Every structure is written in structure tokens, then in C-alpha cells.
Amino acid sequence: MKSVTHWINGALVDGASGRTAEIFNPATGEVSGHVALASAAEVDAAVAAAVAAFPAWRDASLVKRTRVLFKFRELMEAHRDELAALISSEHGKVHSDALGEVARGIEVVEFACGIPHLLKGGFSEGVSTRVDTYSIRQPLGVVAGITPFNFPAMVPMWMFPIAIACGNAFVLKPSERDPSASLLMARLWKEAGLPDGVFSVVQGDKVAVDRLLEHPDVRGVSFVGSTPIARYVYETGTARGKRVQALGGAKNHMLVLPDADLDLVADAAVSAGFGSAGERCMAISVVLAVDPIGDELVQKIVERVDGLVVGPGDDPASQMGPLVTGAHRDKVASYLDLGVEEGAKLVVDGREKAVRGGGAGGFWLGPTVLDHVPVGSRTHTEEIFGPVLSIVRVSSYEEGLKVINDGEYGNGTAIFTNDGGAARRFQNEVEVGMIGVNVPIPVPMAFYSFGGWKASLFGDTHVHGTEGVHFYTRGKVVTSRWLDPSHGGLNLGFPTNK
């Protein structure tokens, strides 16, 4: 049985708090290991190592930093299968999903390799008589990342490659449910030549989170998780003068107009709704079907759901794995009966889905489809975070748009149509941060920034892309004036003609 602990100052450090949490194999329900839960003192040790390492790393040349990043990228590529296997074993997602997660994380590393260009400032010559002004960006210092269970490699890589490339020292607090990926990445950073202390990992729970939010030497905090915790992180961190970006929950809608290709829509709804067992903030959880295409679309979705293979993440035949814990599976499953009570029709019951392999005690719930879900019901509005796809019937584009804009969240959305004018109108009118046009999961590439609106984001800055660079740096403007010899400055010994 494995034991997962901390990585501080370039080495594994045994947990000293005496507190641990169980790590499960979601496919069997069995305990596969234990993870140490850090005390405040252990968080302090990681921050102290970061404080000590920061000055030299800040002053390292951009060329040196970039070379470390390039080497880290090569190592991540070489170990992507190993990393994906760790993710599957602790999260439960199928291997192909885990590989996709790693690939999207590596994209941010590749973006961060361009840091010499991304940190270039501006220069204005002669703003006044012999006066020049120029701008520079400098790192914050010690920054922290608090990341969720659903993407144990990708979400941390939204943060630390850019933070480190900008010259900061980074302390990661990953989810205690699937902590092993963080230690593999820490080992690869060391192998890539990153100085000790620049990247540390403290495993833990609320004790570690609170200490990072309170610690006076932590200058900035990045967070991804549920909206209630995102709000808590933002309010707690900013109250102590920290820069905070906190990404919260989502309830993403797909608006389907009558002219859309319904086969394309059905494929997209199934992959976007049930990939990674629906445990992702960009999952499509509501399909807004504009009359009169609802019945035909539901039939096509059901046909595809019936053919999905549910099984362990390490089985190549599996298309969807288990949920991360038994408690979370039970919470998600409770929405099936709730949906029926609220007036929806349970078209596909995931509790009845056959599982290929895996243990009887695994945290299984198959893909579920609820049709005629009432607008404003809990099933419609609450973030279920599991393989439950709700179909809401609307009469028009305008009604569908209103349903989306009236929602609490504004993370991602999509429209499916062959009408370019309708799509252009939608992207202008919808109050959501990331929009797909005939694309179900509009996660931007690493050179753009990821983040939503409304209750899906607390703070002013999205992650990765240029906004990520700005979050992990502070701007300075320098105005300089140098006297030349003719104004009484340095006498260079040139002859003068009087």
C-alpha cells in the first residue's frame, strides 16, 4: 500500500502531523494508500524554502529559466503514460482521458517556454527633454496553487509553469483524493534542473489551505474548485492583501437550433457530458433543445449512450470510468430521483448501466439522461458534477439565451447551428466567459486565457495565457534622465571651442 507525502526543498519529506487520509481505487472501492495531511508547520517549511530560493531564481537569466522549462517539457512528454496511469488509478478516468489531460497541461508548459518574449516591456524615448520611460514586469515572490481532484495534472500546470517561468517560487496544494501526480511532476522539475525550493508540494486539507491563505510570505494564490470554496479563498486571501484568482463552479448549456446537424450535436453532447464521468467544470450538463427538434435529438443521444462502455480506467475498452469517491457517487445519483420528483423524465438511468470489469464496490454510476427538465429546478440549476445530462426544451433562440443568461454561473457554453448570423449574435449576447460555436467544450489553447464570468470566477484575472503572465508579475514603470557632457555631466575630455 502506497504512502504519499510532501515534496519540500527538492526532496520527499515525511508527514509529521500524524494525520492522514485514505486514497481509493475508484474502480474497486478499495483503499490503495494513504496521503499525509500537512500541519501549519509543514506549510511554513515549504514557504520558507520558497522564500530562500526566490531571490536567486528571480535573478536567473531568462535564458536559464527557459532552458529548465524546455527540459521539463521533454521529461513530461517522456513520462506522459506514467503520469496518466497515476491519474487513472486515483481519479478513475479512463487512460485516454488522462492522456488528454496531460497533453493540455504540456501545452501551458510550451507557452511558458516563450517567457522571454512574454515578459518584454515597452520603451518610449524622449518623453521629455532627454527623458526616457520604459516598463518592466517582475515576479511577485512566493505564490501558491490550490487545485481540485478532477484534473490533478492539468490544473496545476495551468498555474506553475507560468509562475515559475516568470521568476516566482511556487507551493502546490493538490487534492488529497489523487495526490500522486503532483510528486511525479515535482521529481521531473528537479531532474530538469529547477533549483531546490522553487517548487514544493504540501499535501493536505483545509489546514494547509488556510495556512497558505494566511501566510504573510505568500503573495498570490491561484485556486480552482467549487464556487463556495472559491468565494472563501478569494475573500480570505484578499482580506490579507494577497493577489487571488479563484475559479469556481459551472452549469454549462448547449443551445441547439433547429437547423443544426443533430448527429453532430448528439456526438458532442455525449462526449461533452460524459467524458471524465462528467467530473469537469467544462462539461456540458444541459442541452437546450429548440422546438421542434427535441424528440429526435433525445433519441439520437440515447442511442449513443446505450453503446458507451463503462469500466475501469486501465481497461483500453472503457469509455467512461467510475466517479472519484463513493460519497460523491451517491450525491450525484441522488439527482436522478430528485429530477423525477421535479417533473423530469428519466430516459436513461445510469444506476442500471452494466459495468465491464471493475469491482462490485467501485464507485460506479453510468451515463444518465433526464428529459423535459423544468427550467429553474434544482436539477437544472445546481452543479451536479457527474454523468447526468439534462435536456431542457425551449421554444426559441431568445428563450434559450435567457435561460443561460439568467443562470448563476458563466463558465462555458456552446451553440450548435449552421446559421453564421445566429452564432455571431449568440457570442455577442451570451453572458459567459468561454463560448463554443459547434464546439462542445470550448477550452482555449494555452496562449489564450481560461476563465468564466459571474459565480464562476472571483478576481479579475483568468489563468494561463497573457492574463496568467500578468497575474504572476507586477508592473514597474521607470523614467530616467541621463545628463550628457554639454549639460555639466561626465567630462569626456573632448576639446571645446570658446
- Number of Cβ atoms within 10 Å of the Cβ of 389: 29
Show the CA angle centred on residue 425, arms to residues 298 and 291, nearest 5°. 25
113-128 burial: b if 16+ Cβ within 10 Å, else e: bebeebbeeeeeeeee
User: Which of the 8 DSSP states describes residue 246?
Assistant: E
CA pair distance 198, 112, nearest whole angstrom: 16
Alpha carbon distances (Å) from 459 to 134, 191, 248, 422, 465: 28, 34, 11, 31, 16
| Residue 372: C-alpha distances to residues 15, 288, 368, 369 (Å) | 51, 10, 14, 10
Of 116, 115, 118, 105, the residue nearest 73 (C-alpha): 105
Residue 281 designated active-site: yes
- CB of 8 within 8 A of CB of 202? yes
Q: Which of 171, 185, 281, 446 is catalytic?
A: 281
3-class SS of residue 150: coil
Catalytically active residues, by annotation: 281
